[in-house]
Amino acid sequence: MRLSSCAARDAAIELGGCTSKDRLLDDIAAFFDPQIMSRARAIPPFAGIAAAHALPRYRSMFQVVDIPGYSAYSVEFSSTYSQNLTLMIEQSVNASAAYCIHGIGYGYLDGALSAAGFLDAASGLGVWLAGDFMGAYPAYRVQSINDGPVAQATTAIHLAHLYTMIADGLLVGGISSGEMRELLAKAVAFGECFINRASQLNFTVDGTKVGLCNLKPANGGTMVSSEGSILVHASGKRFIAVWQNYSGLDWNAIGHVVRDTLNLYEGW
């Protein structure tokens, strides 16, 4: 969820005329932090979570910028945060993912997912991210079907809904959703995409994010892969494909299931 592009940027514009450039981020924090902590405390796995792990690190995330022609300010991602955001999506760099997660904070991240309907806070069902991939922050876990308590999880339906909102420019506004699509497209260009490695496809991939990890030893230790992608069918229609926990590396199998499903859909 893009704190800077919508919520923080709007707050910056509202506050920017009645504060100083040096104090703007502090004022934004004072406005958002109580709301974030309130939302975080309503999520059962976050019981007792420390503010240091729940709240954004505003000064690592943002830089304050002038608004030309106005005596006010706005905010943009800092260059370091932007670089790590790109590396996280484009190349799946774990250290960059950790930097971005530390910047946004578990409380804002999962609180925003809950508020937007992508996560049922009571059950933990939906898109859940409360581990930083590097172990610098403690992990907060929800129950999964195939790997016990986990710090990163989703259902295919919830993630497909999220991708659909991004693809339609409705998640956090058209500009920010467009920025998200650009990041997902960079992953395809970099080659960090699984589904397009299959042969004889009837679609191209416009944007993607992949996952690759091992299940816990107690659950077999099997390497599993997952992916969420924005597809463009040969007909020009767009589709979202989300699959997860595939234990093979035969991308033809996955690609052909999606290809044949789209063919059946187009034939109805």
User: What value does the CA radius of gyration of the chain take, rounded to a whole number of Å?
Assistant: 20
pLDDT number for residue 16: 57
Please tell me whether residues 127 and 165 are part of one structural domain: no
Total-model pTM: 0.91
- Please spell the DSSP secondary structure of 246-264, one letter per residue: E----HHHHHHHHHHHHHH
Please tell me whether residues 225 and 105 are part of one structural domain: no
Please tell me whether residues 145 and 184 are part of one structural domain: no
pLDDT number for residue 17: 60
Of 121, 153, 185, the residue that ends a domain is 153
C-alpha 131/C-alpha 98 separation (Å) is 8
Arithmetic mean of pLDDT over the chain: 91
> How confident is the model over 135-172, as pLDDT tens digits?
999 999 999 999 999 999 999 999 999 999 999 999 98
Please tell me whether residues 132 and 237 are part of one structural domain: no
Please tell me whether residues 195 and 69 are part of one structural domain: no
C-beta of residue 133 within 8 angstroms of C-beta of residue 150:
no
Please tell me whether residues 11 and 143 are part of one structural domain: yes
Please tell me whether residues 148 and 248 are part of one structural domain: no
Of 153, 169, 197, the residue that ends a domain is 153
Nearest to 35 by CA among 69, 62, 18, 11: 11
Please tell me whether residues 148 and 193 are part of one structural domain: no
Of 153, 183, 204, the residue that ends a domain is 153
> How confident is the model over 21-76, as pLDDT tens digits?
888 899 889 989 999 999 999 999 998 999 999 999 999 999 998 877 766 778 88
Please tell me whether residues 182 and 130 are part of one structural domain: no
Please tell me whether residues 147 and 160 are part of one structural domain: no
Please tell me whether residues 12 and 119 are part of one structural domain: yes
- Please spell the DSSP secondary structure of 127-170, one letter per residue: -EE---SSSSSPP--EE-SSSSEESEE--HHHHHHHHHHHHTT-
Please tell me whether residues 8 and 124 are part of one structural domain: yes
Domain residues for the domain of 198 are: 156-268
pLDDT of 103 above 70: yes
Nearest to 62 by CA among 85, 87, 39: 85
C-alpha 141/C-alpha 137 separation (Å) is 12
Q: How many domains does the chain have?
A: 2
C-beta of residue 97 within 8 angstroms of C-beta of residue 187:
no
75 phi/psi in degrees, rounded to 5? -130, 150
C-beta of residue 172 within 8 angstroms of C-beta of residue 5:
yes
Residues forming beta bridges with residue 126, ordered by sequence position: 119
